[in-house]
């Protein structure tokens, strides 16, 4: 009788071991990368705003605002300063991701190009829409932006679990 109990317990444990990892991974993941090109930036001493339609599905847009934490963005070549970053990424009409994080603004050492890089994770993202119930960033996402003499560019990239 003991052999039957041990065998039954072993079979149940094996079934649970095989099914639990698969059910834990049942969430669908999707890599999303949206870029905004040739935007007309709005730049002040303390902030930079870049917004417009993104490359990708119709109805996508990005509104990115960078604000210097000390009141002024860097202006000298080769210098960097922390910035607060807010990105509102419209994936499709009625589906919006809002990302609030911090990053670093730098002036390129060989030109007057302002660049910003900001990483974010699941705690920095909120989702508004009806397509999915929840959103969770898998790993880290990246917001990158630049203000060159010909305009502004920005991108938001991450892998999301729905």
Banded pLDDT at 23 (limits 50, 70, 90) = very low
Tell me if 51 is assigned to some domain.
Answer: yes
Q: Supply the range of the domain harboring residue 44.
A: 28-161
User: Any idea what the CATH number is for the domain that residue 129 is in?
Assistant: 2.40.350
- Look at residues 160, 64, 71, 63 and name the one whose alpha carbon lies nearest to residue 116: 64
45: in domain: yes
Burial class (CB in 10 A: 0-12, 13-18, 19+), 94: exposed
Report the alpha-carbon distance of residue 162 to residue 131 in Å, rounded.
Answer: 9
The token pair that represents 28 in the structure block: 């669908």
Q: Assess if residue 87 is contained within a domain.
A: yes
**Residue whose entry in the numeric block shows the structure tokens 């993202």:** 125
- pLDDT confidence band for 2 (50 / 70 / 90): low
Residue 10: inside a domain: no
Residue 116 in domain: yes
Q: What pTM does this model have?
A: 0.81
Cα(155)–Cα(143) distance, rounded to whole angstroms?
Answer: 6
Residue 154 confidence (pLDDT) above 80: yes
The count of structural domains within the chain is: 1
Inside any domain, residue 3: no
- Per residue in 36-89, pLDDT (tens digit) is 998 999 999 999 999 999 998 888 999 999 999 999 999 999 999 999 999 999
pLDDT (average), residues 100-129: 94
Does any domain span residue 43? yes
- Sign of the CA dihedral 56, 133, 139, 87? positive
Q: Is residue 44 part of a domain?
A: yes
Coil, strand or helix: which one is 140?
A: strand
């Amino acid at each position: 009788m003991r052999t039957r109990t041990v065998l039954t317990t072993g079979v149940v444990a094996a079934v649970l071991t095989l099914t639990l990892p698969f059910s834990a991974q049942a969430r669908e993941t999707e890599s999303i990368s949206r870029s905004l090109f040739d935007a007309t930036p709005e730049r002040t001493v303390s902030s930079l705003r870049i917004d417009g339609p993104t490359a990708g599905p119709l109805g996508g847009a990005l509104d990115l605002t960078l604000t210097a934490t000390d009141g002024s963005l860097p202006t000298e070549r080769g210098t960097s300063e922390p910035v607060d970053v807010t990105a509102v990424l419209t994936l499709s009409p009625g589906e919006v991701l809002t990302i609030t994080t911090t990053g670093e603004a730098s002036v390129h050492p060989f030109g007057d190009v302002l660049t910003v890089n900001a990483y974010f994770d699941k705690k920095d993202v909120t989702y508004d829409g009806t397509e999915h119930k929840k959103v969770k960033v898998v790993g880290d996402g990246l917001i990158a932006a630049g203000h060159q003499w010909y305009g502004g560019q920005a991108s938001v990239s991450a892998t999301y679990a729905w």
